[in-house]
Chains A and B, each alone.
Chain A
């Protein structure tokens, strides 16, 4: 028994000697940014390490005067409890002043609740949900780059105006898919288009879209709207190509990084919406040339650009506000961010609305054919632009509690 007791004691000692994850020294002169996203799962290319690189790019370009800036990162593995746990620990113990990116709506909203509770700044770039600036808004939250309303309005409405007047939807049968379809239908009809029909497929787990695609083909509609995301979108595009579906494909949620993964041969002709494209103008090209050497295989999409621009604007606000006040209150920083107009290479001049939404134009792009593409990542041609003041959900419709109507 003596042996066992001693061993147990040793085991206890070993357990107690585990790396003690104590609070890092919370240096008063340091602003710490935490990039929290998916780095190992399905969204590793749409966000992932490139988001971290773009954030660091902004930090190095800003060259803060009078305070240090430190960037840390973590992989939330698309689990809300992991994300919320890390966010709590970062805000409480690790002296993180702002959390950035956070794709996947469930994780994005969970981190939003933590930020609100702790009164810390939170800039979401990666999640699509409109609730971040609507029902679950908070005065310390900013939502950058895109949301489902803006995507549906551009892809739905602008496609009709550019000739795609009749639609058929293939929809993932869950809340998110139906919401996309409802929004898109609204904008298609508002623009004078017609919806001829729709098919809902079981989600998740469907990998064979053939019967839905053939129904769509048989409807005689001009446009096939894909109300799904991620791997489902990629699979349905591939299969539409294989079946020779000669409709215009409109993806409701897709990024240039997905187009790159599909290849132009498969993706050509597809329409989609982003708020940033690297080849839009001189400033976007200049930005892309600066970060490209650091991420040669994954060029920036609107999420990456958003991480850059949001970090830059955040640091400007911190500088204007003073570090001590910035560390004290996330709401104070975000109010300052809303008060200052934004100006960066990715999105140009814009502003953040009262409910926390960045107001920029949205672009309807069509993917080029292999013959039209002249270089690496030369993938998009612009079909139409929705001006900033029309691109987003009207302020009064969001239902954000602190917006004065």
Chain B
């Protein structure tokens, strides 16, 4: 059903095993954050890796997903899964608006339009009263799943996040390997030819954009459940930059690359924090080294060396 190659099936099994084992070794809250970012990066990768569209405005979907989930959970008392779905829904709606405007252009113009629209969302969040401005939405309760299963403990929330991530991951994999995904790849390789074959490329691009935005919204919404906050950091343009870095680091156009990229990025952010002002220097040096040594990203390079598709 998911059309895994053998290598991918093994890699997927390894990933699932690691997700199961990791919380016994690493701190679950850290892992949840990595999984949220991994889903975000996978959603972003759907667009850049398989349609060839570099969106520089994904923070808008991620951040608004996070705000809406936090707000609905706090003020309406929505249960976790509904809050997360609400976040995804808002991501999709924003995606429709942004995508409808942006897909008319390509390359740098596409990136600039998405950046401009996401900055509008950012300024909206700075000004709007429901976001709490600089302070953000704080003390969001971890609402029970389906209204009954308590999510207070880190481990129970971890399993929810893991399920959300795996569902999103498999959905993306399914999309890529469906006939729809084949058309997307055709558009990426040669759009005029896809048009000449009779495909309405704009429709395909828009649908891919909306899917990507919705999943980014789900990722942001899940993150707000994990930390109990939604703040301007999530809608800031630097978040759009970070997701590009994660995807680049792991490998654009690979299924597993963004996941590894998110893990590396999250680890740098968290475990370098204790080194004080060296954190940004070290991050920078590691990125330079990666870009110089692994042009195709960590997974991309590994897959290339082994002649596999990962």
Q: Mark A177-203, 1 if CB is under 8 A from B, else 0.
A: 000000000000000000000000011
Confirm or deny: B271 has a beta carbon within 8 angstroms of a beta carbon on chain A.
yes
Confirm or deny: A93 has a beta carbon within 8 angstroms of a beta carbon on chain B.
yes
Q: How far, in angstroms, from A129 to B6 measured CA to CA in the complex?
A: 55
Q: Mark A334-360, 1 if CB is under 8 A from B, else 0.
A: 000000000000000000000000000
Taking a contact as CB atoms under 8 Å apart, the answer to whether B277 and A39 are in contact is yes
Confirm or deny: B132 has a beta carbon within 8 angstroms of a beta carbon on chain A.
yes
Taking a contact as CB atoms under 8 Å apart, the answer to whether A176 and B273 are in contact is no
Q: How far, in angstroms, from A41 to B158 measured CA to CA in the complex?
A: 31
Other-chain residue from A44, A77, A92 in contact with B273 (beta carbon distance below 8 A)? A77
Q: Which residues of chain A come closer than 8 Å to B1, judged between CB atoms?
A: none
Q: Which residues of chain A come closer than 8 Å to B275, judged between CB atoms?
A: 75
Confirm or deny: B227 has a beta carbon within 8 angstroms of a beta carbon on chain A.
yes
Interface residues of chain B: helix, strand, loop or mixed (majority): helix
Taking a contact as CB atoms under 8 Å apart, the answer to whether B18 and A12 are in contact is yes
Q: How far, in angstroms, from A82 to B229 measured CA to CA in the complex?
A: 11
Other-chain residue from B14, B126, B133, B233 in contact with A81 (beta carbon distance below 8 A)? B233
Q: Mark B1-24, 1 if CB is under 8 A from A, else 0.
A: 000001100110010011001000
Residue of B nearest to A229 (CB): B134
Confirm or deny: A73 has a beta carbon within 8 angstroms of a beta carbon on chain B.
yes
Confirm or deny: B148 has a beta carbon within 8 angstroms of a beta carbon on chain A.
no
Interface residues on A, range: 35 or more
Taking a contact as CB atoms under 8 Å apart, the answer to whether A40 and B270 are in contact is no
Q: A21-B27, A40-B279 are in contact. Are A109 and B135 (CB under 8 A)?
A: yes
Q: A40-B277, A105-B134, A175-B133 are in contact. Are A89 and B30 (CB under 8 A)?
A: yes
Taking a contact as CB atoms under 8 Å apart, the answer to whether A176 and B18 are in contact is no
Q: Interface centre among B138, B228, B272, by most A CB within 10 Å?
A: B138
Q: Which residues of chain B come closer than 8 Å to A5, judged between CB atoms?
A: 10
Q: Which residues of chain B come closer than 8 Å to A88, judged between CB atoms?
A: 27, 29
Taking a contact as CB atoms under 8 Å apart, the answer to whether B227 and A110 are in contact is yes
Count chain B residues whose beta carbon lies closer than 8 angstroms to a beta carbon of A: 49
Confirm or deny: A62 has a beta carbon within 8 angstroms of a beta carbon on chain B.
no
Other-chain residue from A4, A15, A110, A136 in contact with B306 (beta carbon distance below 8 A)? A4
Confirm or deny: B269 has a beta carbon within 8 angstroms of a beta carbon on chain A.
yes
Taking a contact as CB atoms under 8 Å apart, the answer to whether B133 and A176 are in contact is yes
Other-chain residue from B11, B30, B133, B223 in contact with A174 (beta carbon distance below 8 A)? B133
Taking a contact as CB atoms under 8 Å apart, the answer to whether B138 and A176 are in contact is no
Taking a contact as CB atoms under 8 Å apart, the answer to whether A174 and B134 are in contact is yes
Taking a contact as CB atoms under 8 Å apart, the answer to whether A12 and B133 are in contact is no
Confirm or deny: B276 has a beta carbon within 8 angstroms of a beta carbon on chain A.
yes
Taking a contact as CB atoms under 8 Å apart, the answer to whether A21 and B277 are in contact is no
Q: Which residues of chain A come closer than 8 Å to B197, judged between CB atoms?
A: none
Least distance between B279 CB and chain A CB atoms (Å): 5
Confirm or deny: B274 has a beta carbon within 8 angstroms of a beta carbon on chain A.
yes
Taking a contact as CB atoms under 8 Å apart, the answer to whether B25 and A49 are in contact is no
Taking a contact as CB atoms under 8 Å apart, the answer to whether B132 and A175 are in contact is yes
Residue of B nearest to A93 (CB): B27
Taking a contact as CB atoms under 8 Å apart, the answer to whether A73 and B276 are in contact is yes
Q: Which residues of chain B come closer than 8 Å to A176, judged between CB atoms?
A: 133-134
Q: How far, in angstroms, from A105 to B29 measured CA to CA in the complex?
A: 22
Q: Mark A74-85, 1 if CB is under 8 A from B, else 0.
A: 111111111011
Which A79-127 residues have C-beta < 8 A from chain B?
A: 79-82, 84-86, 88-89, 92-93, 105-106, 109-110, 112-113
Which B139-181 residues have C-beta < 8 A from chain A?
A: 139, 154
Q: Which residues of chain B come closer than 8 Å to A1, judged between CB atoms?
A: 6-7
Q: Which residues of chain A come closer than 8 Å to B182, judged between CB atoms?
A: none
Q: A73-B274, A84-B227 are in contact. Are A40 and B280 (CB under 8 A)?
A: yes
Taking a contact as CB atoms under 8 Å apart, the answer to whether B30 and A85 are in contact is yes
Q: A82-B270, A110-B138, A173-B127 are in contact. Are A49 and B227 (CB under 8 A)?
A: no
Q: Which residues of chain B come closer than 8 Å to A109, judged between CB atoms?
A: 135-136, 138-139, 229
Confirm or deny: B291 has a beta carbon within 8 angstroms of a beta carbon on chain A.
no
Taking a contact as CB atoms under 8 Å apart, the answer to whether B229 and A80 are in contact is yes
Chain B residues within 8 Å of A, Cβ to Cβ: 6-7, 10-11, 14, 17-18, 21, 25-27, 29-30, 33, 123, 126-127, 129, 132-136, 138-139, 154, 223, 227-229, 231-234, 269-280, 302, 306, 308
Q: A75-B279, A109-B136, A176-B134 are in contact. List 5 more A-B contacts (CB 8 A).
A: A1-B7, A7-B302, A12-B18, A81-B227, A85-B29
